Chains A and B, each alone.
Chain A
């Protein structure tokens, strides 16, 4: 911009002025702490022994990365993320089609769908916990008579995944429905006239148009699933090797009061999420939300 006019300058100043508070808050509460986390991760810092605080370089990283619990939690997190997001995509697509096309009760369907989305995760998690506890539950008796599904690793993980899917499929469906709304009705009609069956119309007409919406939904849900915490804490407290990386970091920090190790895990989780975002952007290019912004840092 060469000589900015008075109006342009005023506009620029107003723009900065209006954005400054939001930008400052976001910077102060995320930018500064994440740098501080990196700093803490280079220190031995256990609040139980505060006088032993010292700079230890990469020692904490070696400790965490050489620890079986970390890798178990990492595997659990990846498993929950991949399985729940994959199932949610299929279920969410089905739900989106029902919400978009239902001939009867469309308002009703859209309304009830918002309940899993809106409900407090901890509340939902308690409902699942009671459902799968032999005494109070309806599902425990029905599906695993005589067993206590929340005491085994495999069955606990399955229940955590079911809870995740129940809670977040509606969100996925809403994002996909926004994509469905972009599919031109004429195009579908033309395809039907040309003899395309419902499946062909779905694959050849709807999916290509919906691709951006699908990517947005997948990215957001993958990153969201990777932070899984609430369901695990309420359902199993991370027992029987069901901890996710978030649960493990929380346990080290708040229960173990080990700020050095807790911060190291924080940084590693941050890097893992950044890597996932970067992979999405690389794989899908500019179709991913935010383009190249998504993968930086």
Chain B
């Protein structure tokens, strides 16, 4: 890659390598630290060494031996997957309309979803708490899926409509000319072309749902729907006799693994997904 001012010299390469190292240390140190804690034995937890002196898998065995964590993990996975699926389907429909069709009310929808993206979620906690209590949704999966879907819809709509704008129009026109209805043109022609954008959006939405803490701690009260981020917080409470640091660290590592896998496999997609929605023209 040619930089401004000509060829890359050795000094420049060294400079960039140093910068790379700084960035890598910056990004990974907190993650490595908690991973290291999760592999330490109880006796060495407080020794302050980044690389454990005594390795153990006991912390992982502990968390998987109780319902408290496994149940929360199932809740986290189930709720995030369902919310992602709904948000992506509804978002794709709306994004298609925004990218491809002219209809009154389009600007209103775009503006409204922008508002929701900026919405202070804590403002919804009190009314949702009361509404869900009355409707019987409090402390259930749907009780979390609803706000997750809602707050990921703006992200889904923005990201996908940006992707959809890049899809060649002519193919859809050709299909309609060959007698396909607009609906058929969508499912048969555009949908396959749109798949990569949809997939990228799904990753971003999943990360968002997986991350949530505020709704999860406010709208749940038992293991029935408590997700891992909240369960971690409760590990701390009931353990006067055993230090929960090891368990919390192990659980933290378990829910970090999917994120690391996504990032390693789909770095390019995630970057393009995050940036495409943000800068338009």
Contact = CB atoms under 8 A, between A and B. Distances in A.
Interface stretch (A64-72, A82-90, A229-237): A229-237
Contacts of A126: 34, 232, 248-249, 252
A246 B175 CA distance: 51
A178 B93 contact: no
Contacts of B106: 15, 19
Given A103-B13, A130-B33, 4 more contacts: A19-B93, A19-B97, A135-B46, A230-B213
A104 B276 CA distance: 25
A189 B2 CA distance: 11
B118 A273 contact: yes
B136 interface: no
A90 to B, nearest CB: 14
A127 B33 contact: yes
Nearest to A217: B278
Nearest to B255: A120
A22 interface: yes
A229 B125 CA distance: 12
Contact of A105 (B20, B27, B102): B20
B114 A250 contact: no
A159 B241 CA distance: 28
Contact-size category for A: 35 or more
Contacts of B276: 178
A229 B278 contact: no
Interface of B: 1, 3-5, 8, 12-13, 16-17, 19-20, 23-24, 26-28, 30-31, 33-34, 37, 45-46, 48, 50, 90-91, 93-94, 96-98, 101-107, 109-131, 146-147, 149-150, 153-154, 157, 182-183, 207, 210-211, 213-214, 217-218, 228-229, 232-233, 245, 248-249, 252, 255-256, 259-260, 262-264, 267, 270-271, 274-276, 278-279
Contact of A110 (B96, B119, B271): B271
Contacts of A253: 125-126, 129, 218
A254 interface: yes
Contacts of B275: 174-175, 177-178, 181
Interface in A193-238: 201, 212-213, 216-217, 219-220, 223, 226-227, 229-230, 233-234
Contacts of B96: 18
A37 B126 contact: yes
A136 interface: yes
A122 interface: yes
A262 B252 contact: no
Nearest to A264: B126
B34 A130 contact: yes
B245 A289 contact: no
Contacts of A19: 93-94, 97-98, 105-106, 109
Nearest to B133: A47
Contact of A112 (B27, B114, B217, B278): B27
A74 B12 CA distance: 46
Interface string A113-130: 111111111111011101
- Give the top 6 A-B pairs by smallest Cβ distance, nearest first: A15-B103, A293-B111, A178-B275, A33-B127, A29-B150, A122-B229
A34 interface: yes
A22 B260 CA distance: 30
A115 B233 contact: no
B278 A290 contact: no
B204 to A, nearest CB: 9
Contact of A14 (B117, B182, B274): B182
